[in-house]
Amino acid sequence: MKEVTVQDLKNMMDRSEEFQLIDVREPFEYEVSNLNGLNIPLAGIVIEQDKVKKDVPVVVQCRSGKRSAQAIMLLEQQGFDNLSNLQGGILAWKEDIDPEMDVY
């Protein structure tokens, strides 16, 4: 499974690279803190796979990296090959990029 660090993701954002960010946490988690990704909870990722782009890199994130890894495994079974997991999830983002971010 491909992975990107939070610094890699920040660099992609800073360079305005074309990619899609998918947040597989629950809506209440997304409301506390998010990186402006598309919120598709893990339980619905296969049902809502049509919202996941196939023609640009896609970074999948959650709180710590575990649910996003599960989401990637499910989507890869559906034929996706453009997915990367955000190492450490939003907790790593808070630690390395934005210490002021609220997390739970």
- Whether the CB-CB separation of 84 and 3 falls below 8 Å is answered with yes
62 catalytic per annotation: yes
Mode of pairing for the β-strands spanning 20-23 and 58-61: parallel
Q: How many C-beta atoms surround the C-beta of residue 95 within 10 A?
A: 13
Per annotation, catalytic residue among 62, 75, 83, 90 = 62
Tally the C-alpha atoms within 13 A of residue 98's C-alpha that lie toward its C-beta. Answer: 14
Instruction: For residues 63 and 33, give the distance between their C-alpha atoms in angstroms, rounded to a whole number.
Output: 10
What amino acid positions are annotated as catalytic residues? 62
